[in-house]
Amino acid sequence: MVLLRCRNLPTYSLNHRFTPNFHSLSSSSSLPIHQHPQNHLVVCNSRIRELLRNRRVEEARNVFNEMTQRNSITWNSMITGYFRNGQVEEAKLLFHNFAGKNIRTWTTMISGYANNGRLDAARQVFDLMPDRNVVSWNAMINGYAKYGDLKSARILFDEMPERDAESWNTMITGYGHGGLLEEARELFEQMQDKDIVSWMVMISGYVRGNDHLEAWNMFSKMYNDGVKSDQSIFVVTLSAITGLNCQMLIRILRTVAIKTNFEGDVKVGTTILNAYTKTGILELALDFFKTMPQRNEFTWTTIIASLSQSGRLDDAIAMYNQAPEKNVPSQTALMTAFARHGKIHEARCIFDQIQNPNEITWNAMVTGYAQNGMLEEASMIFQRMPVRNIESWATMISGLSQNGLSKEALNLLAELHRSGMVPNHSTFTSSLNACGSIESLEMGRQIHTLTVKTGCQFNTYVGNGLILMYAKCRNMEGVHRVFNSMRVKDIVSWNTVISALSHNGKLVDARTAFDKMPKRDVVSWTAMVSGYAQAKLGYLAFDLFLDMFASGINPDQSSLTALLSTCADLGVAKLGEQIHALVFKLGLDFEIFVSNALIYMYFKCGCKDGFRVFDEMPGRNVVSWNSILDGCAENGFGKKAVELFEQMQSEGIRPDQTSFVSILCACSHAGFVDQGWAYFNSMNRDYGIMPLEPHYACMVDLLGRAGHLYSAEDFIKNMHIVPDSIVWKALLGACRIHQNVELGRRVAERLFQLEPQNSGNYILLSNIYASLGMWKEVGEIRTLMRDRGVRKEPGFSWIQMKDKTNYFVNGDKTHKQAEEIYSILNEFVERLKEYGYVPDTHFVLHDIEEEQKESALLYHSEKLAIAYGILNTPNGTSIQIMKNLRICGDCHTFTKFMSKVTKREIIIRDNKRFHHFRDGSCSCGDYW
């Protein structure tokens, strides 16, 4: 008699009677081996399969090695086990050593290679097969379809000598997963014998493609055709209803489930419960939960998780306490609920109470720590895990990446790769995000190569991650290469490439891609609108926004904030008010992100409505406070800025670097020297914030405006960092205000070295000379600029009137209303002189006669814009002017008188700040 030996199994007496007990094979008890060889073969094969299911591959191989007789089941089981555990080379070696390969062995190799992303190797095996059956064909088609190579899959499908239902369903599934639902539907309609799986594939395909209405229509068609639903059909159809967010359809499907005796099915019931919770009707979910005839562990975890996600943590705890069994799934659900609400200590207590946590529980604890930014603790749990599956690695890598620890995430990916495990799609996506965050193009390329080796490059999520990585690394060639090679492009793919192109200044290419999109969502429109907005192409942004609205797509927070930013750049408050009205209509007025953009927009347009938005906010973050502080600084509300900064501190909001720039700027414009010093000194002392160039520049500006020019120079010399051009320019501006030639010349020489092509520095020094009548030196500066090829930026002003922007330059006579503008301007100058206005010819920077100087002053661009505004608006209407350069002293005085005589508010935004003129005075207090 041939004896079969399995590792660690004792030999019993030949007289020992043995009845095989397959249930005991999973235990560590010994097995008798002296029975008939065929019986022992079954026992050992079962042992191998059981060990492989538990990922004890080495032990399974030891059993395999000690077997004195093996059959094809033995070999095929071992090959399959190697593939399932990612040990591809071991499977390959065993395959080559197996002399008795049968058609199942060959098919096992095809499936194994395909499942591990080795499609080329799978195809080589397929082509070498001596015989094929429909299962072999299906395995190869499934491999292609799984990794998105639908073209190759379809070629094989068309070549098949015979097809079964699985062949059709595999191909339809591939199309569905790839978002090619029209092709899937075409094949589905061609099927002669549709089975329940076929209907399931189509319905789930529509659900996956977010076409939930068509998914419901497909279910209705199936039901009307008399096809009996099964459990899975109900589950996926409920997912469609959840997507439609329709309570009525839930009731209809419940009626169908009752008629077909499925409502009592615990899995269907749990899915109905989940549909209620996902559609936001938690009370109905609770009512349904109470009436369920059967509940399992997933039912309890669903209701606990739903209560937690709705913010009802106490109710989730109470529901957990009602559960008949405190099993691992329900404990994991409560643990996750605690972690989601920031109660990580309570989550850990639950975790420590679980005697035998499974992989899901371990991963949930890692996720909980990562969600709460506790990466060290997450890493400790990860290291303690007795068994790590690919989800464990993916969770940890994702946590590191999302918390800004990109290098650590990539190091962990390298460790995963060295372990021999194959990264999954989630791991690749998180790692690519990490590469993009630190702009590590070389590492990104290596990961790209690894995705190709594992066959994951055709996965849509991975492809989108590759596009985003190359975009963040500003490698547009990579963006185009990945996008063009994608076999299936979903809407995210298109959106990602549009965002990548627009953020990198390729707006023409972005618009071309946008126009080619087969389907657009709000993200598509927003990406394009934001691209135009960031490129300062405001009118194109608004034109596209109107097209978006006309197509029935409601804007989201991102598109609205982009438009509000455009309104701010253009200074068009009226348009901003319309966007504000739309925000209110869409119910987004309480969204903090949008409210912050509204504050920014109003103040950038010189409107005090920013205060109202700030006051009405139900909650504020540090960006809200920074926006209001910056608005105060820019609009000359220095005292208000100080009050708000003090309020911010008293409410426990910690100022950041931006907060201090804003308050220092406000103090500078208001002349609050002592308070400015106090805030500057408190930065490091009270908050541990080291001053940067903008803070030093504000302090120099503060001291310089107040006339402390040499104190400002000493301050620069004692800076802890090397002063940049912004700091020196602040001092040069102060020298111009106080006409200090000696210091101005020294500072200008430094700036000429730092910024030899910046015309503003030359002009500032020239203006100092001109204000003191030093015309020879003025000429020398002009000669120097000409020799160095430096061109002066021309000054101009503009005013928005009835959706049209009117531009003016000094002495401009090209405007169609030029004659009227000059006439009314001359008329007003004579009236203003009666009120005491005297043209200040010191601001004419040319050596000409006094009368010519007065004439040159009269036709400055801002004066022309004001006259145009008066001509074209009703009496008493406010006028807003924008100017690209600093307003001169004479225009400032002129505008004060105009506001008094015309009884209008005149707002001028120059390149430094806003000036609000009313009743003969300016918001800056003549301190600018």
Distance (Å, rounded) from C-alpha 839 to C-alpha 845? 14
* pLDDT above 70 (res 176): yes
Longest alpha-carbon distance in the chain: 132
Q: Residue 781 pLDDT > 60, yes or no?
A: yes
Report the pLDDT value the prediction gives residue 822, as an integer from 0 to 100. 92
Predicted pLDDT of residue 247: 67
Contacting residues for 575 by C-beta, under 8 A, at least 6 apart: 542, 567
Q: Sorting pLDDT into bands at 50, 70 and 90, what band is 252?
A: confident
pLDDT at site 19: 34
Is the model's pLDDT at 231 over the cut of 80? no
CA 416 to CA 397: how far, in whole Å? Answer: 10
Mean pLDDT of 124-147: 90
Phi, psi of 654 (to 5 degrees): -80, 120
- The residue-averaged pLDDT of 51-78 equals 88
Choose among 195, 268, 256: nearest CA to 227.
195
Looking at residue 25, what is its pLDDT? 31
pLDDT tens digit string along 639-675? 999 999 999 999 999 999 999 999 999 999 889 999 9
> What is the predicted pLDDT for the residue at 792?
82
Strand partners, 801: 804
What SS3 class is residue 879? strand
pLDDT at 39: 59
The predicted pLDDT at position 281 comes to 67
pLDDT at 223 (0 to 100): 80
Among the listed residues 797, 796, 801, the one whose alpha carbon sits nearest the alpha carbon of residue 872? 801
pLDDT at 141: 92
443 pLDDT above the threshold of 90: yes
| Dist. CA 57–CA 59, nearest whole Å | 5
Residue type, 709: L
Please tell me the predicted confidence (pLDDT) of residue 613.
95
Amino acid 10: pLDDT: 35
Residue 26 DSSP class: G
What tens digit of pLDDT does each residue of 34-55 get? 444 555 788 888 888 888 888 8
What pLDDT, in 10s, does the model give residues 384-404?
888 888 888 888 998 889 888
**Is the distance from CB of 599 to CB of 614 less than 8 angstroms?**
yes
In the chain, the percentage of residues whose pLDDT exceeds 90 is: 32
555, pLDDT greater than 80? yes
Q: Closest by alpha carbon to 233, among 179, 259, 197?
A: 197
Cβ atoms 290, 275 nearer than 8 A: no
Strands 879-883 and 804-809 turn out to be unpaired
Residues contacting residue 303 through CB under 8 Å, at least 6 positions apart? 273, 277, 285, 286, 289, 319
Residue 805's pLDDT band, with cuts at 50, 70 and 90, is confident
Closest CA to 449 of 484, 489, 482: 482
Q: Is 797 helix (H, G, I), strand (E, B) or coil?
A: strand
Higher pLDDT, 925 or 269: 925
Count of positions (residues) in the chain: 928
CB 528 within 8 A of CB 502: yes
CB-based contacts of 126: which residues, under 8 Å, 6+ apart? 110, 132, 136, 139, 140
pLDDT at site 14: 29
Q: What is the DSSP string of 30-45?
A: -----S-HHHHHHHHH
Task: With a cut of 50, say whether residue 15 has pLDDT above it.
Answer: no
- pLDDT per residue as tens digits for the range 835-887: 888 887 665 554 444 455 556 678 899 999 999 999 999 999 999 999 988 88
Range of lowest pLDDT (143-157, 261-275, 743-757): 261-275
310-347: pLDDT as tens digits: 667 777 777 777 777 777 877 788 788 888 778 888 88
Residue of higher predicted confidence among 856 and 728: 728
Show Cβ contacts of residue 287 under 8 Å, excluding neighbours closer than 6 positions.
none
Question: Which amino acid, 136?
Answer: S
Burial state string for 258-291 with b = 16 or more CB within 10 A and e = fewer than 16: eebebbebbbbbbbbbbbbbbbebbebbbebbee
| CA distances from residue 427 to 397, 409, 424, 468, 489 in whole angstroms, order as listed | 7, 10, 5, 15, 20
Confidence of residue 229 (pLDDT cuts 50, 70, 90): confident
* pLDDT, average across residues 756-780: 89
759, two tokens: 């015309």
Q: What is the pLDDT of residue 681?
A: 95
424 confidence band (pLDDT: 50, 70, 90)? confident
- The sheet with strand 804-809 has its strands ordered as 804-809, 796-801, 879-883, 906-909, 914-918, 921-922
Q: What is the mean pLDDT of residues 211-236?
A: 80
User: Does the pLDDT of residue 590 top 90, yes or no?
Assistant: no
Output the 3-class SS for 160-229: CCCCCHHHHHHHHHHHHHCCCHHHHHHHHHHCCCCCHHHHHHHHHHHHHCCCHHHHHHHHHHHHHCCCCC
Per the CB < 8 A criterion, the answer to whether 555 and 549 are in contact is: yes
Please compute, for residue 2, the number of CA atoms within 13 A of its CA located in the half-sphere on the CB side: 10
What letter represents residue 654's amino acid? R
Q: CA separation (Å) from 40 to 13, 29, 46?
A: 15, 16, 10
Q: Mean pLDDT over residues 350-367, rounded?
A: 85
Q: Is the pLDDT of residue 360 over 60?
A: yes
Average pLDDT of every residue of the chain: 84
856 or 158, which is more confident? 158
- CA 185, CA 201: separation in Å to the nearest integer? 10
For residue 4, what pLDDT is reported?
Answer: 37
Structural tokens at position 633: 């600084």
Beta-carbon-side half-sphere exposure of residue 745 (alpha carbons within 13 Å): 8
| Average pLDDT, integer, range 471-477 | 90
Which tokens hold the place of 303? Answer: 């209701």
576 vs 590, more confident:
576
533-544, pLDDT tens digit by residue?
888 888 888 889
C-beta of residue 437 within 8 angstroms of C-beta of residue 404? yes
Average of pLDDT values for 4-19?
35
Q: How confident is the model at residue 200 (pLDDT cuts 50, 70, 90)?
A: confident
User: Range with the lowest mean pLDDT among 256-270, 601-615, 655-669, 808-822?
Assistant: 256-270
